[in-house]
Structure 1
Amino acid sequence: MIEKTFPKNFTPQTQDTQPGIESKMNPVPIFEQGEYTFDANRLKDKVAVITGGDSGIGRAVSIAYAREGAKVAIVYLNEDQDAEETKKIVENNGGTALLIKGDIGDETFCQSIINTVISSFSKIDILVCNSAEQHTANSIEEITYEQLDKTFRTNVYGSIFMIKNCIKHLKEGSSIIITTSVTAYQGNETLIDYSSTKGALVSLTRSLAKNLAPKNIRVNAVAPGPVWTPLIPSTMPSSDVQEFGSKTAFKRAAQPVELAEAYVFLASQGASFITGEAIHVNGGEFVNS
């Protein structure tokens, strides 16, 4: 992968609603690289469910999993164009993708996701809890009940709903991967409720890893630093977008493709003795703290 091909700053921009549309971003996030190849069949014949799989990190993971031999069920909120584009890319890479649209904050919908995947593929081997909601606030006093409820419902409740309804279908050797964040460890002065949810997901990862170890089901997390995804222009002021990621050791934000390998590794046999852990893909953000 050629680091110099990745942008170090961005055009000031915003989007009206989140989680945002990838095709409207400038530049469009990099979810594949010619120099960054999979094809080792590390996930051959596996079935993966990926929430937020339509764009950003989820798109990169969906494509990487497909290239490693997995069938992917892509769960998304309402971004039809992004979801269809991801499905097309997966299929162009020889993979199989199933699109499922709805809000994971609703447990009934989560039940229907699992039922649909089992009906289509007869099994589930990998669950990636990646959907996220975030809002900026300069003060905790600005955080409304509605915002707090939506952020926790998507990030925490949604992950628990998905795991709870998926667990009976997971077998020995299955893997659950949760997307947390560097903000769970460092905090963030304007992402107060979001950071709180990501801290909860770290604790969920550790507790569930202990709970499921007797069944040999592994539970791990990936903790990204700043990543150029649709959440950024759809939730941040344009002035912050321009310098997004500049405080990392590499002086830039990650591109989604740079996260994908961590998710492949944690889902593969190569991580068979790893559980309850978080892989930090943050561009050396701790180095600068």
Structure 2
Amino acid sequence: MTLEEAREKAEEIEPQQQDRQPGVEGEMEPPAEFIRDGYEGSGKLEGKVAIVTGGDSGIGRAAAVHFAREGADVAVMYLDEEEDAEKTAEMIEDEGQEALTIDGDVRDSAFCQAAVEEVIEEFGDLNVLVNNAAVQVVKTELTDITDEQWEETFATNIHGYFYMTKAALPHLEDGDTVINTTSVNAFEGNDFLVDYSTTKGAIVAFTRSLSQQLAPEGIRVNQVAPGPIWTPLIPATIGDFDPEAVAEFGQDVPMGRPGQPSELGPAYVYLACEDSSYMSGQTLHLNGGSIVGG
């Protein structure tokens, strides 16, 4: 997809909603793009093994498919979106790499431990962990956020990152990487996503602190901070609150449009491979031109 095609696709987004999280790719209109036809792999991750949580769709699928094009085998972790996960696995295999799908809830520490063990048993190694699974619920008033919603958002968006990283660390070695997905909202705030934005801020601190702890071992920890990206989470969250608002999604950034997952995939490759060998504790901001601190 060219930049002009990306702009045209953004204009095709109409009011829509989905009634469950994290949403389903097949119900999105227009469908998202995950990797550009012209993206040529060059073996940057040849022989590597990666885990991507929330890898069934959206940004997670883009990271997984880009990893595969660069030569990695990929384990795709997902909640219960089996059809989307199988499609991601098919795309990985179309790149000539092996795929493993694992369904379960990253809010469960025991599941995270078992999932990592399954990856080690299947592939015999682990080199890249992408913490990406997330939930968000639109609430315009703090008092409308229930205790249960607050706790669930934290359980998925930051506790799950901790559980997965804790399980993966014994298998990571010098040169391996952890990549966390935070958000532009961690730096700008968001008045209708207070709990979500708070967890994304926690991810920033988690990334920076862990990077310092693991630097002596040669394990790098970085993060990607997406802006508005066209993923199933948008019609499933913003659309659930106001279907009309989906048609205007991303228009408030300088570039005037939402990004495609395909525009983020190469950033995950960069952080996973040796190209970023002198980079840890840092953030890549892919947000349509918004200027943020940090």
TM-score (norm 1): 0.97
Distance 1:38 1:154 in 2: 34
Q: Kindly indicate whether the alpha-carbon contact (under 8 Å) linking 1:8 and 1:246 is maintained by their aligned counterparts in 2.
A: no
Deviations 1:170-222 (A, max 9, x none): 00011000000000000001000000000000000000000001101000000
Distance 1:180 1:104 in 2: 16
- Say if 2:250 is the partner of 1:248: no
Distance 1:286 1:171 in 2: 35
Residue 170 of structure 1 aligns with which residue?
172
2:10 corresponds to which of 8, 12, 24 = 8
TM-fit CA distance, 1:8: 2.7
Distance 1:232 1:177 in 2: 22
Deviations 1:118-138 (A, max 9, x none): 100111000000000101001
Answer with 84-93 or 65-74: which moved more: 84-93
The residue correspondences of 1:130-141 to structure 2 (distance < 5 A) are 130-141=132-143
Q: Kindly indicate whether the alpha-carbon contact (under 8 Å) linking 1:8 and 1:251 is maintained by their aligned counterparts in 2.
A: no
Q: Can you give the 5+ residue segments of structure 1 that lack an aligned partner in the other structure? A: none
Q: Kindly indicate whether the alpha-carbon contact (under 8 Å) linking 1:175 and 1:219 is maintained by their aligned counterparts in 2.
A: yes
Q: Kindly indicate whether the alpha-carbon contact (under 8 Å) linking 1:247 and 1:285 is maintained by their aligned counterparts in 2.
A: no
* Letter paired with 2:97: G
Distance 1:34 1:123 in 2: 29
Distance 1:118 1:84 in 2: 20
Distance 1:99 1:212 in 2: 28
* Letter paired with 1:79: E
* Letter paired with 2:78: Y
Query: What is the CA RMSD across the aligned residues, in angstroms?
Result: 0.9
Deviations 1:134-181 (A, max 9, x none): 010010000011111111000000000000111010000110000000
1:198 corresponds to which of 197, 200, 205 = 200
Q: Kindly indicate whether the alpha-carbon contact (under 8 Å) linking 1:209 and 1:219 is maintained by their aligned counterparts in 2.
A: yes
Distance 1:286 1:139 in 2: 26
Matched length = 286
2:52 corresponds to which of 50, 53, 68 = 50
1:283 corresponds to which of 283, 288, 293 = 288
Residue 60 of structure 1 aligns with which residue?
62
- Say if 2:28 is the partner of 1:25: yes
* Letter paired with 1:77: L
Identity %: 47
